[in-house]
Amino acid sequence: MWVMRMQYISTRNPDLRLQASQVIAQGISQEGGLFVPEKLPLVGEKLPLWLHMDYRGLAKEIFQLFLTDFSPEEIGHCVEAAYVPAKFEGEAPVKLVPLTNSGAACYLLELWHGPTCAFKDMALQILPHFLTKALQKSAQGQEAVILVATSGDTGKAALEGFRDVPGTRLLVFYPRDGVSPLQKRQMATQEGKNVGVCAIEGNFDDAQTSVKGIFTDCGMQQELKKRGMQFSSANSINWGRLLPQIVYYIYSYLELHRSGKLLSWEEPVNIVVPTGNFGNILAAYYARCMGLPVKKFICASNRNKVLSDFIRTGVYDRRREFFATSSPSMDILISSNLERLLYALSGGDSAALANWMGQLAKQGWYDIGPAMKGRVQSLFYGGFCGESGTSQAIREAWEQEGYLCDPHTAVALDVYGQYEKDTGDNSTPAIIASTASPYKFAGSVLGALGPLATQDEFENLHRLEELTHTQAPRQLSALRDKEIRFQDVVSKDATATYVRRALGLG
Ligand SMILES: *Cc1c(COP(=O)(O)O)cnc(C)c1O
């Protein structure tokens, strides 16, 4: 079969044309733009043909459409190495769980059955395989230095994905006071010879901004090159992070057909996503562009509601107070992947994008104007849920549905409720992304259910098991006995120095 080569372009530079392996190896474009496929493949007519494929088979089909400079054998190898039952308890790596008592048919798409108990595993178990193959093709086998800024879950998922992967080194930066106790413990106890973890005095945006700064520092890039190394990214700015996330939205739509819940191939669903950096919901949007019938994307924010404000007003304004919440992986004021959405909705207007993003960097806000706002609102509904609403949603899901959810998923459930009330749309089936195991945030979940949480997170884990008669994932309870390996803390201006020292650049 003859396959069209897919070209990738940058959101801020219309003249670049790159192959998939190059954009995965590089992560972010030189001028600060993000890589996007020039044209998305259309798969609407293939959906019925894909009906009986298992998860891995479907993933291979979809990846082949995008990674056109990888051979089918290479893609097969990546998929078979990543989505195995040994890593994702169960035959399929994701589960679709119906909620019984709600108005419209609702399904929780559980994305957290991987090694680190959050949805980031879905992409970060496979990205190292994509990346090492990409480096062999495009960078003559340079060693990849991967820098990660994390609000909690990405860091651990990247550490597990890249540990001891030949040809890679990984450095993770997290906000010292901005991750949950178990997230911190997960990272501090990480094994592997090629990894390092460091806390930053600052919030997630500080971490992300300083890491982006190092990436685009030409002097540093030259020094790395001399030593046979090059930077790459495992954050969701890397196309290799988004692509695997497209698969599970298509998979869950097929799963609803398999179980007779959808009547036709035109019948749309709503997709509800607890959102931070706009990566997960953007993957769902790309699935729609490819032909998946989706009516509305419901973008759920926590108290840091910069995105829900944006969807309502068309003004993105990060000049506001930053709150540390019980859903820390969404404590973000600069949602990087929104740039890709605006690029698509503006019909590829890279000048407008460069303008808005420049204004965001300099003034802290931008306004997309009424026409663009209309396009955003025709597809996206934005809402937010504060801290007491989050606790209440955890309690209600448990008491009314018998569903134990984590605080991020609770935010999604609450905002979905707002959407139903606001719009009266209670007949479209909804797929709600369940993004982390409740045990990863045991203290918050326990507190929401009534009993006071203790200072000891492992005691909280135990109490949550007793109270709900459910079981904590073994990889979380086992953390108690693991050796602490990383305790470094640096100021946000010292990350570059830390990276130099870790890489032996002097
Ligand atoms: C990362 C994360 C999110 C937010 O996902 P984005 O792709 O950044 O929007 C939501 N929930 C959990 C548990 C996460 O780890």
Q: From the CB of 236, is ligand 1 less than 6 Å away? A: yes
Q: How confident is the model at residue 505 (pLDDT cuts 50, 70, 90)?
A: confident
- Say what percent of the chain tops pLDDT 90: 82
Please give the torsion angle defined by the CA atoms of residues 44, 45, 46 and 52, in that order, rounded to the nearest 10 degrees: 100
Ligand 1 pocket test, candidate residues 34, 119, 301, most atoms within 8 A of CB? 119
- Provide the 3-class DSSP secondary structure of residue 398: helix
Give residue 32's pLDDT.
85
Give 151's contacts (C-beta < 8 A, 6+ positions apart).
174, 175, 178, 179, 204, 276, 328, 329, 330, 331, 332
Q: What is the DSSP string of 36-87?
A: EESSPPP-GGGGGGGTT--HHHHHHHHHHHH-TTS-HHHHHHHHHHHS-TTT
Q: How confident is the model at residue 236 (pLDDT cuts 50, 70, 90)?
A: confident
Q: How confident is the model at residue 177 (pLDDT cuts 50, 70, 90)?
A: confident
**Is residue 192 scored above 60 in pLDDT?**
yes
Ligand 1 pocket test, candidate residues 160, 236, 246, 280, most atoms within 8 A of CB? 280
Average pLDDT, integer, range 386-398: 98
Least-confidence region, from 67-76, 129-138, 273-282: 129-138
Count of helices and strands (H, E) across the chain:
21, 16
Ligand 1 centroid – CA 95 distance (Å): 17
Average pLDDT, integer, range 57-73: 97
Q: How confident is the model at residue 83 (pLDDT cuts 50, 70, 90)?
A: very high
Over residues 401-414, the pLDDT tens digits come to 999 999 999 999 99
User: Which ligand 1 atom sits nearest the alpha carbon of residue 435?
Assistant: 13
Give residue 139's pLDDT.
67
Least-confidence region, from 127-131, 168-172, 179-183, 262-266: 179-183
Residues 61 and 52 sit within 8 Å (Cβ to Cβ)? no
Taking the CB of residue 104, how many other CB atoms lie within 10 A of it? 16
Q: From the CB of 118, is ligand 1 less than 6 Å away? A: yes
Rg (CA), the chain: 21
Give residue 203's pLDDT.
87
**Is residue 50 scored above 60 in pLDDT?**
yes
Q: How confident is the model at residue 3 (pLDDT cuts 50, 70, 90)?
A: low
> Of residues 216 and 170, which shows the higher confidence score?
170
Q: From the CB of 407, is ligand 1 less than 6 Å away? A: no
**Is residue 165 scored above 60 in pLDDT?**
yes
DSSP assignment letter at 367: E
Q: From the CB of 179, is ligand 1 less than 6 Å away? A: no
Give residue 215's pLDDT.
82
DSSP assignment letter at 101: S
Ligand 1 centroid – CA 279 distance (Å): 8
Q: How confident is the model at residue 103 (pLDDT cuts 50, 70, 90)?
A: low
Over residues 306-328, the pLDDT tens digits come to 999 999 999 999 999 999 999 99
**Is residue 342 scored above 60 in pLDDT?**
yes
Ligand 1 centroid – CA 154 distance (Å): 8
The CA distance from 211 to 226, in Å, is 21
Give residue 159's pLDDT.
97
Give residue 190's pLDDT.
96
Residues 413 and 274 sit within 8 Å (Cβ to Cβ)? no
Domains and CATH numbers, the chain: 95-114+242-443 (3.40.50.1100), 446-480 (no CATH)
Give residue 102's pLDDT.
62
**Is residue 131 scored above 90 in pLDDT?**
yes
Q: From the CB of 272, is ligand 1 less than 6 Å away? A: no
What helix, strand, coil percent values describe the chain, rounded to 5?
A: 50, 15, 35
User: Which ligand 1 atom sits nearest the alpha carbon of residue 151?
Assistant: 1
**Strands (E) located in 278-333:** 294-301, 315-317
Give residue 11's pLDDT.
96
Q: How confident is the model at residue 295 (pLDDT cuts 50, 70, 90)?
A: very high
Ligand 1 centroid – CA 388 distance (Å): 20
To 5 degrees, how large is the angle CA 127–CA 34–CA 376? Answer: 110
